[in-house]
Amino acid sequence: MTDIYSRLVNKGPGRDVAKKLGLPQPAVLRRYEPGQPLINGPVLIEGSSAGADELAAELLTWDVDVRRHAVPREKLGGIVLVLDSLASPVDLEKPVLTVASSLRDLAPNGRVVTVSLTPDGGSPAAAAARQGVDGLLRSLAKELRAGATGNGILLADGVGTTAPTALGALRFFLSGRSAYVDGQFVRVGSTSGKLPADDEKPLAGKVAVVTGAARGIGAAIARTLHRDGATVVAVDIPAAGDHLAAVANDIRGTALQLDISRDDAGPRIIEHAVGRHGRLDILVHNAGITRDKLLVNMDHGRWSSVIGVNIAAQLRINEALLASEHFRSAPRIVSLASTSGIAGNRGQTNYAASKGGVIGMVRATAPLLAEHGGSINAVAPGFIETEMTARMPFATREIARRLNSLQQGGRPQDVAEAIAFLASDSAGGISGEVLRVCGQQLVGA
């Protein structure tokens, strides 16, 4: 599970050799830790629209040094490029070329964030400009070095640059919580949501259920939600009972031994959360399995078990929660998809069908949760250093690990941070979306 190569080329003689030979030198990513400043260095806000001015005024109330013009050779923690008033693609040139030279001054682990309008509206020229931001940002992210990332915030009609979730997403992208999110957009579809009273405990007072919490990504999610203030119910199969109890005890939560593919899984989850903790606010569908085989050799067992656990169980549990009066106060669901479900993966037709299914499920469930001020989203991890990926053959693993803009695998913690953000009220305006945590994987979609 450790990336020995990354450690070798980041210090001592290994670093010099790698430099001489032109080998990849993955940066040490600045990951979030409680107490850490939001960002290391001043943030330049580029853009001359009213939305840019309002955003700059808002950032001044945060603990951030804001610049409206670049100061030559001053190291920058981040650049926010506000492009919310584009009428045509020619309007891109001035703001984009104005920040271009500042990219040289971006500190290691720096951040570039675009704020623009969703491309599904406006005249053909405006839509071309808005869609142009997509290509621009994704290319720029591939040019950044030293752990720096580029991500974008898309504002739907009627959502301003200082809407609660626009600000929540900006904080997420500027911070170390998004260390392994690169080249991605989040779409803020509404003005719902609110920023937390305490940035270090955004989930204070919430009760969260995490499935598949005995190990891997699920255990990291449970620990992260607890760190952020939630009371956590850790769910896993009875066979994983010892590990499950260890995780639950560690985070002062409770353990529920349950196979999520059972018909009564939904009611059992509600009964446990409400019975033991008095409420249920957040459900994270993390439990998942792989049974890889080329389609030509696929059989009933492999196909049905993967569909059964990875998507059919989630649909059944959601149905129970949606029908329950205990899941009505700004409820949040976050589900684990996978980049395999977006780009496809050889040997994973069953898995990719289930994970593609998760994406369709969150899109169609979003309006149902909106009735209760709730949201549902998916997180699609790329190559994450877990027991599952440690079992891959060495060469395949080494290639998969490097083929992204950050030239390294992500950690379970990186996935957990994205989930904690989407489970918080500061992301309340994002629903029905998929956020990839993949370091901007270079192959596939």
Residue 6 three-state SS = helix
Q: Which is nearer to ligand NAI, 217 or 361 (CB)?
A: 217
End-to-end CA gap in the chain? 26
Does 401 interact with ligand NAI (rule: CB under 6 A)? no
DSSP label of 179 = T
Under the criterion CB under 6 A, does residue 387 sit at the interface with ligand NAI? yes
Q: How far is the CB of 435 from ligand NAI (least distance, A)?
A: 13
Burial 371-404 (b: 16+ CB within 10 A, else e): eebbbbbbbbbbbbbbeebeeeeeeebeebbbbb
Pick the binder of ligand NAI from 175, 314, 338, 441 (CB under 6 A). 338
Which is nearer to ligand NAI, 59 or 219 (by Cβ)? Answer: 219
Least separation in angstroms between CB 229 and ligand NAI: 23
> How many Å apart are CA 281 and CA 317, to the nearest integer?
14
Instruction: Give the single-character DSSP code of 243.
Output: H
Which structure tokens are listed for 348?
A: 């994973």
Q: Interface with ligand NAI includes 381 (CB under 6 A)? A: yes
Among 114, 161, 224, 286, which residue interacts with ligand NAI (rule: CB under 6 A)?
286
- Told to check if 284 binds ligand NAI by CB under 6 A, we report no
Least separation in angstroms between CB 7 and ligand NAI: 20
| Burial status of residue 59 (CB atoms within 10 A of its CB: 0-12, 13-18, 19 or more) | buried
Contacts of 135 (CB under 8 A, 6+ apart): none
Under rule CB under 6 A, residue 259 binds ligand NAI: yes
Return the range that interacts with ligand NAI (CB under 6 A); candidates 10-18, 72-80, 285-293, 317-325.
285-293
H/E stretch holding 50 reads helix 50-60
Site for ligand NAI in 287-326 (CB under 6 A): 287-289, 309
Residue 215 interacting with ligand NAI (CB under 6 A): yes
3-state secondary structure of 394: helix
Of 216-255, which residues contact ligand NAI (CB under 6 A)? 216-218, 236-237, 240
Helix (H, G, I), strand (E, B) or coil at 444: coil
Residues 100-159 that bind ligand NAI (CB under 6 A): none
Q: Report in angstroms how near the CB of residue 187 gets to ligand NAI at its nearest.
A: 21
Torsion angles phi and psi, residue 129, rounded to 5:
-65, -45
Cβ proximity to ligand NAI: between 67 and 223 the closer is 223
Closest to ligand NAI by CB, 44 vs 222, is: 222
Stretch that binds ligand NAI, among 101-109, 158-166, 281-289, 398-406 (CB under 6 A): 281-289
- Pick the stretch among 37-45, 175-183, 225-233, 383-391 that binds ligand NAI (CB under 6 A): 383-391
Strand-pairing partners, residue 72, are none
Catalytic center residues: 351
Mode of pairing for the β-strands spanning 282-285 and 207-211: parallel
Binding residues with ligand NAI: total (CB under 6 A): 27
Contacts of 229 (CB under 8 A, 6+ apart): 198, 201, 202, 203, 204, 205, 206
Give dist(CA 357, CA 354) in Å, integer. Answer: 5
Q: Which is nearer to ligand NAI, 366 or 384 (CB)?
A: 384
Which is closer to ligand NAI, CB of 67 or CB of 215? 215
Strands 149-155 and 106-117: parallel
Helical ranges in 124-234 per DSSP H: 124-143, 164-174, 216-227
Instruction: Provide the binding-site residues for ligand NAI, judged by CB under 6 A.
Output: 211-212, 214-218, 236-237, 240, 259-261, 286-289, 309, 336, 338, 381, 383-384, 386-389
